[in-house]
Amino acid sequence: MDSVLDAELAYLRRYPDVAGAIKTGTVTSALEHFLNYGRFEGRVWLGPAAEVSVSSAEEPVAEVPEPEAPTVPHNLDAVLLTQGFLFVDGWIDDRFDRLVSIGLGPTGRPSLIASAPGRHRRQDVEQHLQVSSPFEAGFWQLFEVPPEIAARPSRLRLTLASGHSVPLDPGSPARLSPREHLETFLGFYGRRQLIGSQVARSFAELDAGLAATVEHLHDAIRATREIASEGSYGRRPARPLISFVCCIYGIPDFLFLQVAQFARYTSLERFEFIYVNNTPELEEVLHRDAELAAAVFGTSVSIISLNQNTGFSHANNVGIARARARTICVINPDVFPYDKASIGALNRLAAGKARHAITGGKLFYADGTVMHEGMYFVADPRLSALARTKVWTVEHLRKGFPDLGGRATAPVQAVSGALMVFDRADYEEIGGFDERFVYGHYEDADLCLRFAEHGWKVLYDGALTFWHYEGRGSIKRPEHAGALHINRWHFSRKWQARLSGKS
């Protein structure tokens, strides 16, 4: 063929769907379709542009100039790289030509992966552009990078609704460890500002594939967990009656105080206290306090210090694996016995009534109002309406109300991980805490539902009374807000059928 026109006609006869795309205005010509789409789809162009046809993946491919967008204000603010993962964050003024995808691929080749970008509001950009109406100028994406991209220089490309492209040079990405990468991403994810509902947007993004990417990054971190140090202080009983397992994160102050509060009401000779430390920098002070508490109160206190924050599930699983009693009491560091009867209720459970059941107690705030008399699940009507799917939340029975007395035992849907008692054999049979939850939220409710799914009881014991200085025993960091979105999605998706009464 001697002319571009003849080649255009031949292309349209060969690919009638392109003619349809021209009629709808998606593309303006056969040549434009071939350059932007067809050559990447393996289509054939018989004419002057044949030299740009696609070669095999193994052959070098000449980089073909792409139709770039007219000047569009934009910036790539951050590029973070770790083993197999890439996080990008930037902004673009796409009010007049909407951003539809962000792609990643080797330099000089078509994008190997592309997806719709996450969006968020950037008030600094609105001020820079002198825009009076808010809009989501920010874009981001967390890529799971295949080896063929990671092994060579790569480029990013923003594709607009018009078909124009905005190339981005990632430069030299900041290289982080998997843990630093996840913490940075979750910190961003938890504090990003949106026009609309955080929960609704999070569910949509996680459903669209973000959940799998975060899970794979979390798996990479789980492989790096290890015990940094262990120490046992005091005389360990040959057959302890109860093993108390407590996860510590960020605040060491409660270890000595908690053991002291138990010692007020009973001898501790048949108890063992196991503290699992998720904050490596507290390692020395916790070993010191454990040694002191064991000596002063005549009990066994152990410290297992981990090399990083492994989260509530993993820390408790590690602690329970070291426990020697048949009866396990998972307890928060800011939970203390209410009176001597509280210890009696624990001893009663340890005497054989903990089997095939998971039991929680009555927890009080410092002012004497109730914090917990069991938990229940609600498909939050507001959040569910916004997300267009059931969003399950965990609520506390009688939270914030005065205590009406009563020490009865009653079945409930769940009990709090701040204080839960169960038989070690039951816990091992169902596989312990689910470590797919990130850091801490919903693991206790998940464990209770698995007990119930097994046909076992979930009980509230009103005689098991404890003080709970909620939120005082650990620190909150930005990444925990992002983890809450991930865990709420995971819990809702995992238990949707059962909680909706469909299983």
Secondary structure (DSSP) of 376-420: EEEE-HHHHHHHTS--EEEEETTTTSPP-----EEE-SB--TTEE
Q: Three-state DSSP class for 499?
A: helix
By the 10 Å C-beta count (0-12 exposed, 13-18 middle, 19+ buried), 305 is classed as buried
Dist CA 95 CA 384 (whole Å): 29
Q: For the chain, how long is the longest CA-to-CA vector?
A: 99
29-43, 45-59, 94-108, 394-408, range with the lowest pLDDT: 45-59
367 contacts 361 by C-beta, under 8 angstroms: no
Mean pLDDT of 358-363: 96
- Give the pLDDT band (50/70/90) at residue 104: confident
- The answer to whether residue 472 scores a pLDDT higher than 90 is no
User: Tell me: domain 227-369+401-474, CATH 3.40.640.10, correct?
Assistant: no
Task: Tell me the percentage of the chain whose pLDDT exceeds 70.
Answer: 89
Residue 368 tokens read as 């004497």
Cα–Cα separations (whole angstroms), residue 194 to 92, 214, 229: 15, 20, 43
- Residue whose structure tokens are 């410290």: 303
- Residue whose structure tokens are 């009401």: 265
Dist CA 65 CA 402 (whole Å): 72
Sign of CA dihedral 221, 226, 228, 232: positive
| Confidence (pLDDT) at 155 | 81
Residue of 287 and 354 predicted with greater confidence: 287
At 346, give phi and psi (nearest 5°).
-65, -45
Residue of 357 and 353 predicted with greater confidence: 357
Alpha helix stretches (DSSP H) within 1-158: 4-14, 16-24, 30-36, 123-129, 147-150
| Confidence (pLDDT) at 470 | 81
Residue 369 tokens read as 């109002």
Which residues does 114 contact at the CB level (< 8 Å), separation at least 6?
101, 102, 103, 104, 159
pTM over 0.85: no
By the 10 Å C-beta count (0-12 exposed, 13-18 middle, 19+ buried), 82 is classed as buried
- The answer to whether residue 454 scores a pLDDT higher than 90 is yes
CA atoms within 13 A on the CB side of 430: 22
- The answer to whether residue 388 scores a pLDDT higher than 80 is yes
- Which sequence spans correspond to the domains of the chain? 4-52, 227-369+401-474
Task: Tell me the percentage of the chain whose pLDDT exceeds 90.
Answer: 68
Measured in residues, the chain has a length of 503
Name beta bridge partners: 142.
Answer: 87
| Confidence (pLDDT) at 150 | 62
| Confidence (pLDDT) at 56 | 37
The predicted-structure confidence for 157-213, as pLDDT tens digits, reads as follows: 899 999 888 888 887 888 888 999 999 999 999 999 999 999 999 999 999 999 999
By the 10 Å C-beta count (0-12 exposed, 13-18 middle, 19+ buried), 132 is classed as exposed
Which residues does 238 contact at the CB level (< 8 Å), separation at least 6?
none
At 5, give phi and psi (nearest 5°).
-65, -45
By the 10 Å C-beta count (0-12 exposed, 13-18 middle, 19+ buried), 361 is classed as buried
The predicted-structure confidence for 31-76, as pLDDT tens digits, reads as follows: 777 777 776 666 767 655 443 333 333 444 445 455 555 678 999 9
The predicted-structure confidence for 238-253, as pLDDT tens digits, reads as follows: 889 999 999 999 999 9
| Confidence (pLDDT) at 52 | 39
| Confidence (pLDDT) at 47 | 59
Residue of 337 and 67 predicted with greater confidence: 337
The predicted-structure confidence for 412-431, as pLDDT tens digits, reads as follows: 999 999 999 999 999 999 99
